[in-house]
Amino acid sequence: MSLILRLETDDEPVIGDPIVANILRFNPSSDNEPQFQRYVIPYRHRMSVFTILREIYEHQDPTLAFRNQQCGRGICGNCHCLVEINGQKQKLVKGCSIPLKPGDRLVIYPMSQENLIRDLVTTF
């Protein structure tokens, strides 16, 4: 298993096609039902599901709710989510441990819609 922990800088070159992520969004205080929101993220070297969530939060949409913390060793479980990559459904995964390639297309769900607090944040 290859874990990815790194800080991105804007100086890194964009490589290949961007990643397209469709993320299930839901804010119980303002939304009646969950809906998908589409984001296009420039691919930079060694990105993971967790790094694209941080990229979205820091550069595109600061309202995206997810557990924005990571132990860096793939053991804390704070970055758990359900991910579909290029139509292939994954099991419950740690977002930090899923490496991405240029041009990947993702569908990202919260790990449990029954325990949903907001967007990708759930109770454990």
The domain locations on the chain are 19-122
Q: What dotted CATH number matches 19-122?
A: 3.10.20.30
Q: What is the pTM of this model?
A: 0.80
Of the pLDDT bands very low, low, confident and very high (cuts 50, 70, 90), residue 116 is confident
Does residue 5 surpass a pLDDT of 60?
Answer: no
Classify 114 as helix, strand or coil. coil
Cα 20 to Cα 25: distance, rounded to the nearest angstrom? 15
Structure tokens, 119: 């967007």
Pick the residue with more confidence: 7 or 61? 61
pLDDT in the model for residue 80: 66
pLDDT in the model for residue 1: 46
User: Are the C-beta atoms of residues 82 and 64 closer than 8 Å to each other?
Assistant: no
